[in-house]
Amino acid sequence: MQPVERQPAKPINAAGAASLSEVSKLYGSFAALRKVTVEFAVGSSTVVLGDNGAGKSTLLRMIAGLISPTRGTVHVFGGEPRAQRRRIAYMSHEAMLYDEMSAMENLRYFARLQGDAEKAARTPEQSLLAVGLDPALTRPVGQYSQGMRQRASLARVLLTDPELLLLDEPFSNLDVNSANHMVELLMEFRGWPVTGASSEQLACGRTIVLTTHQAHLAEPLAETTLTMKTGAILSEVKR
């Protein structure tokens, strides 16, 4: 493990995959984020570490456009996060799938919401196979094991072919083998060609931001490691 050291705030390049400038998020008098300034370059892979309540999930949800900052600005691919919804995918530690439907039914539903199925980079079947789930499985998601739910959830986000993938505690409730399999898949995902991308984007690849408090599991993805504490970024270490 590399030594953690405090780094000064850097100027923000709004053309990065995501950038936050002096961002604070207050819930009443509680500050979930305090003047966070950080940039995630296109094609980078970042692991955000921190204890519970450090502000990791708030950071991710803000980049995803699910919450707005109380102060400061957030840019994703140079624009408002909500305007870039087609290019972002967010996976929570909860499945974000309907318990009463099978993984395949869930994925077909979300694929239809995504728009033109013919132009989609991959089909629900391909997404499920990529995460090692059988597309023919008819059992509802509510009856899946935690590992299967996480994989189905990952298949949902891969289906949308995101350029920026935000993963909030993806290894929670997973055994070490399943977590390692997920990391392998994410490493592979970074190399998948971006649909309709420029040659510059193709060279950079896809961006991953992942939060966890199990640093050892995410080690292969930790090109950059951010450590957060009480809503602030304590350190940024590049490999």
- Looking at the Cβ atoms of 62 and 182, the one nearer to other proteins is 62
Cβ proximity to other proteins: between 31 and 234 the closer is 31
For the CB of residue 112, give the shortest distance to other proteins in the complex, in Å: 5
Only one of the segments 14-22, 95-103, 118-126, 180-188 lies at the binding site for other proteins (rule: CB under 8 A); that segment is 95-103
The Cα–Cα gap between 74 and 81 comes to 7
Query: How many residues belong to the site for other proteins (CB under 8 A)?
Result: 29
Site membership for other proteins, residue 92 (CB under 8 A): yes
Single out the residue of 33, 63, 67, 76 in contact with other proteins (rule: CB under 8 A): 67
- Report, in Å, the least distance between residue 173 CB and other proteins: 13
Tokens read off for 183: 């990391």
Q: Which position among 10, 71, 86, 119 is part of the footprint of other proteins (CB under 8 A)?
A: 86
89-100 as b/e, with b when 16 or more CB fall inside 10 Å?
Answer: bbbbbebebeee
The residues, ordered by sequence, that sit 6+ positions from 93 with a Cβ below 8 Å of its Cβ are 168, 169, 170, 172, 173
Which parts of 97-156 interact with other proteins (CB under 8 A)?
A: 97-101, 105, 109-110, 112-115, 140, 156
Transcribe 184-219 into DSSP letters.
HHHHHHHTSPPTT--HHHHHH--EEEEEES-HHHHG
Residue 68 interacting with other proteins (CB under 8 A): yes
According to DSSP, residue 40 is labeled: E
Q: Which of 94, 134, 175, 188 binds other proteins (CB under 8 A)?
A: 94
CB of 231 vs other proteins, minimal distance in Å: 16
> Could you tell me the CA-to-CA distances from 133 to 47, 138, 188, 216 in Å, in that order?
26, 11, 17, 25
The residue ranges that bind other proteins (CB under 8 A) are 64-68, 82, 85-86, 88-90, 92, 94-101, 105, 109-110, 112-115, 140, 156
